[in-house]
């Protein structure tokens, strides 16, 4: 079986590119994979050491983000590949901003002409009464377009993959797509298996780790405020913020956050920027508490950062938003807080710092919950779905 995968790819820095690298690396152990990836600026460097890519997983960089020609570029290359399956990753800004999302259904229509099964993984379902723009009129028009495009994506795809039941229910109920329920399949976001890394593990001063893209949507300012209050009780504690700027962000949010740090606090807060996977493994293993914040109240999706740390047995403090609520239970496998409430976050940090037994219990429960979601098993679920799609076509 040969799979034609359409996605962004490292060193382009967005969550889906890294997701794709791990997914298709594992899928390539069972099938031949050709990745039609985005062309990236050659000045971008990558500290990300990906798992050994199989020789059967080949990368062809053939399309540019924000180009109105990306559908035709992808289609022409897909025709050359003559794959058994066309598998697309979809994110609202994945192929570019402005007009790029509007062109995605055109790409789907082109790929349907190949006669091969067309499978789309939707990484975000927009739900609720979110305000997408300051102008009410623009916000209303944007949401109308999103509803139209979402319905079109589901209708044009032979199968749709989402990462959790909440996403599936949102498509069925909020987008009125219940009659397409049988083509919407839930395959969880792959989780990283914990690895052993040389170095100290969770010793000495308290280390609090926050990882992932450093963006306005993560509410890092609230974490800094909470850590400042927490530091009065634990002055030697260290906060490590591992990650950097998202490829789709325009403002320099990281510099703004660094300017908020002053005095003695500057010695205890470390911004690492992006680090390679081995260094990140070490940071996770040496941390006492992991904090994952998000302000994405109206975005139904899965958390890649949660999947990255879940198998390491570390206690997690997270925001009370859909992407965490769908997978976690407050007080059992995480501590949930309101993102914009630094006081409750500081209290959660103190609670876990002062109760080793609770830290170990939460970390153990979290690891147990994700043990069946490791990348190898997720890849196998994709293979089974691809085979089912092929059988249905024939």
Query: Per residue in 155-207, pLDDT tens?
Result: 999 999 999 999 999 999 999 999 999 999 999 999 998 876 444 466 678 99
**Overall average pLDDT of the 110-130 stretch:** 91
- How many angstroms separate the Cα of 90 from the Cα of each of 59, 61, 110, 160, 169? 18, 17, 16, 10, 18
Residue 139 reports pLDDT greater than 80? no
- How many angstroms separate the Cα of 111 from the Cα of each of 57, 66, 154, 344? 21, 19, 14, 49
**pLDDT for the residue numbered 21:** 95
Residue 261 reports pLDDT greater than 70? yes
**pLDDT for the residue numbered 245:** 84
Identify each DSSP E strand in 110-221 by its residue range: 118-122, 124-126, 159-162, 184-186, 207-211
Q: Pick from 130, 111, 133: which is nearest to 120 by CA?
A: 111
**pLDDT for the residue numbered 55:** 54
**pLDDT for the residue numbered 141:** 87
Query: Per residue in 12-55, pLDDT tens?
Result: 989 999 999 999 999 999 999 999 999 987 655 554 455 545 55
Task: Work out the mean pLDDT of the chain and round it to a whole number.
Answer: 90
Which residues pair with residue 32 across a beta bridge? 2
**pLDDT for the residue numbered 134:** 66
**pLDDT for the residue numbered 133:** 62
**Overall average pLDDT of the 267-279 stretch:** 90
Cis peptide before 11 (omega within 30 of 0): yes
**Overall average pLDDT of the 98-119 stretch:** 95
Is 386 exposed, middle or buried (CB count within 10 Å of its CB: 0-12, 13-18, 19+)?
buried
Counting every residue written for the chain, the total comes to 394
- Maximum distance among all alpha carbons in the chain? 68
- How many angstroms separate the Cα of 253 from the Cα of each of 43, 46, 168, 218, 258? 21, 20, 33, 11, 9
Quote the distance between the C-alpha of residue 241 and its chain's center: 17
**pLDDT for the residue numbered 43:** 57
d(CA 336, CA 344): 9
**Strand, coil or helix: 229:** helix
Query: Left if phi > 0, otherwise alpha if psi is -120 to 50, otherwise beta: which for 38?
Result: beta
Beta-strand pair 124-126/299-301: antiparallel
Report all structural domains of the chain as residue ranges with CATH numbers, in order of start.
Answer: 2-190+374-393 (3.40.50.2000), 207-373 (3.40.50.2000)
Which residues pair with residue 38 across a beta bridge? 63
**Percent of the chain predicted with pLDDT > 90:** 74
**pLDDT for the residue numbered 199:** 42
Inter-residue contact 151 to 175 (CB < 8 Å): yes
**Strand, coil or helix: 366:** helix
Inter-residue contact 49 to 276 (CB < 8 Å): yes
The answer, as to whether pTM is greater than 0.85, is yes
d(CA 105, CA 246): 25
Q: Pick from 58, 66, 50: which is nearest to 11 by CA?
A: 50
Task: Give the torsion sign (CA, 374, 298, 99, 251).
Answer: negative
Residue 274 reports pLDDT greater than 70? yes
Name every residue whose Cβ is closer than 8 Å to that of residue 225 and which is 6 or more positions away in sequence: 342
Name every residue whose Cβ is closer than 8 Å to that of residue 88 and which is 6 or more positions away in sequence: 5, 6, 7, 107, 108, 111, 118, 119, 120, 121
d(CA 119, CA 87): 5
d(CA 11, CA 319): 28
Residue 98's pLDDT band, with cuts at 50, 70 and 90, is: confident
């Amino acid at each position: 079986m040969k799979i034609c995968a359409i996605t962004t790819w490292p060193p382009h820095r967005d969550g889906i590119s890294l997701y794709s690298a791990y997914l298709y690396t594992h899928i390539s152990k069972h099938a031949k994979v050709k990745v039609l990836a985005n062309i990236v600026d050659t000045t971008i460097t990558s500290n990300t050491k990906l798992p050994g890519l199989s020789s059967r997983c080949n990368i062809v960089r053939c399309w540019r983000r924000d180009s109105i020609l990306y559908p035709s570029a992808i289609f022409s290359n897909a025709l050359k590949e003559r794959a058994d399956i066309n598998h697309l990753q979809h994110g609202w800004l994945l192929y570019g901003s402005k007009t790029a999302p509007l062109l995605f259904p055109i790409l789907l229509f082109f790929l349907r002409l190949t006669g091969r099964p067309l499978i789309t993984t939707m990484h975000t379902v927009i739900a609720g009464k979110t305000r997408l723009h300051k102008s009410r009129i623009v916000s209303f028009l944007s949401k109308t377009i999103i509803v139209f495009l979402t319905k079109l994506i589901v209708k044009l795809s032979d199968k749709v993959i989402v990462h959790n039941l909440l996403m599936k229910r949102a498509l069925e109920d909020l987008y009125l797509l219940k009659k397409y329920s049988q083509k919407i399949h839930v395959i969880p976001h792959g989780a990283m298996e914990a690895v052993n890394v040389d170095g100290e593990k969770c010793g000495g001063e308290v280390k609090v780790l926050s990882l992932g893209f450093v963006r306005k949507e993560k509410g890092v300012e609230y974490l800094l405020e909470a850590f400042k209050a927490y530091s009065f009780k634990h002055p030697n504690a260290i906060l490590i913020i591992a990650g950097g700027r998202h490829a789709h962000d325009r403002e320099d949010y990281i510099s703004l956050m660094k300017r908020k740090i002053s005095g003695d606090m500057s010695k205890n807060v470390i911004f690492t920027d992006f680090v390679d996977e081995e260094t990140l493994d070490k940071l996770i293993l040496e941390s006492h508490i992991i904090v994952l914040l998000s302000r994405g109240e109206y975005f139904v999706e899965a958390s890649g950062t949660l999947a990255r740390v879940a198998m390491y047995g570390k206690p997690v403090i997270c925001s009370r938003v859909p992407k965490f609520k769908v997978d976690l239970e407050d007080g059992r496998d995480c501590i949930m807080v309101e993102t914009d409430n630094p006081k409750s976050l500081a209290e959660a940090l103190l609670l876990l710092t002062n109760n080793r037994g609770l830290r170990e219990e939460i970390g153990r429960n979290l690891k147990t919950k994700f043990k069946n979601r490791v990348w190898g098993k997720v890849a196998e679920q994709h293979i089974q779905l691809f085979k089912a799609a092929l059988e249905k076509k024939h």
